[in-house]
Amino acid sequence: MLFYLSLVILIFALGAQLWLRFFVNRRGLTRINTRINADILKYIFLTSLFLIFILLFYQSFKQYQFWSQNEISKHLLPPYQSINYFIFYVATRFFVPYLISLVVAILFFFAAQFLNKKYEERFFYPEEYYLGALAIFLMGHPGWLFYLIFLIFIYLLIHLYSLLITHYSLQRVPLYYLWIPTAIFVILISKWLEHLSLWSLLKM
């Protein structure tokens, strides 16, 4: 369910991003337009946090029901055992991967803002803070690491293409249209990535 919810959120975010760029702001970006874009993507990001954690609590509830109806696993629950074991189990199995990616997303958000401000808005549009944070959060752990690897790889490929094919070196490749499509790609191949030994090693 998390797979499909994350995919739906990313597709919706991509649709909102394209709609804002090509229809709402088709006559050009202004500071007001950019701020409105960022606010809309901010609400998408915050809504995604709410939906993902609601689903995590629902999964925890279903796990409790499953254990309570099983003759063996019911002994891991009260009154046979403290509820702490169950809480630890669902926390590590369901919540920790998204708590880790949420922390990384928040760190990215503030680091991107700091660097952008330091270098006079050279790197990111304001809405990119939320695009990047949304993508990182929805990857979970360790998916966000693979996401960043793919993002850097695609970024370098674009640079190489511009240098070798067009013989024109780009000083800066905007990531604006890479954040969400790369995240969708990683989500779609995540089932294969999970079979990698590196994934198992990084997954706590």
Tens-place pLDDT, residues 37-82: 888 999 999 999 999 999 999 999 999 999 999 888 888 888 888 8
Question: 158: which 2 tokens?
Answer: 């674009």
Which pLDDT band, with edges at 50, 70 and 90, does 3 fall under? very high
Which pLDDT band, with edges at 50, 70 and 90, does 122 fall under? confident
Residue ranges covered by each domain of the chain: 2-202
Which is higher by pLDDT, 55 or 2? 55
> DSSP letter at 29?
-
Question: Distance of CA 83 to CAs 65, 67, 70, 91, 111, Å?
Answer: 13, 12, 16, 12, 39
Q: How far apart are CA 117 and CA 119, in angstroms?
A: 6
Q: How far apart are CA 24 and CA 19, in angstroms?
A: 7
Which is higher by pLDDT, 43 or 202? 43
Give the global pTM: 0.91
